């Protein structure tokens, strides 16, 4: 009889260990999937910001005469002829 009780206790211990292991696996899977989602969101945000900066560089490169050269030349001419 004691042997059966020992086997039942051993079986119960193994069942508890199995359940705890399954819970740990579920937690790890959740953390892994959450990490993947967060990294994809951050990567997407990075590419969006990089795209905005690239677009800004292109706009400034194309319109450098309009935005920089002409206003600076006009400023220098006005400043020089005021004196």
Cβ neighbours around 61 below 10 Å, total: 8
Question: What stretches in the chain show pLDDT beneath 50?
Answer: none
Report pLDDT for 79. 86
Is the pTM higher than 0.95?
Answer: no
Q: Distance between CA atoms of 4 and 12, rounded to whole angstroms?
A: 12
Report pLDDT for 66. 85
83 by DSSP, 3-state: which?
Answer: coil
Whether 60 and 67 have beta carbons less than 8 Å apart is answered as: yes
Name the phi and psi angles at 63, rounded to 5.
Answer: -100, 25
pLDDT, one tens digit per residue, over 60-73 is 899 888 888 888 88
Q: Distance between CA atoms of 35 and 47, rounded to whole angstroms?
A: 18
């Amino acid at each position: 009889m004691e042997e059966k009780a020992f086997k039942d206790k051993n079986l119960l211990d193994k069942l508890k260990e199995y359940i705890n292991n399954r819970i740990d696996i579920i937690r790890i899977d959740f953390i892994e999937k959450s990490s993947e989602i967060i990294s994809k969101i951050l990567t997407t945000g990075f590419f969006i910001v990089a795209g905005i900066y690239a677009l800004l560089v292109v706009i400034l490169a194309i319109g450098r005469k309009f935005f920089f050269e002409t206003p600076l030349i006009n400023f220098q001419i006005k400043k020089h002829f005021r004196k």
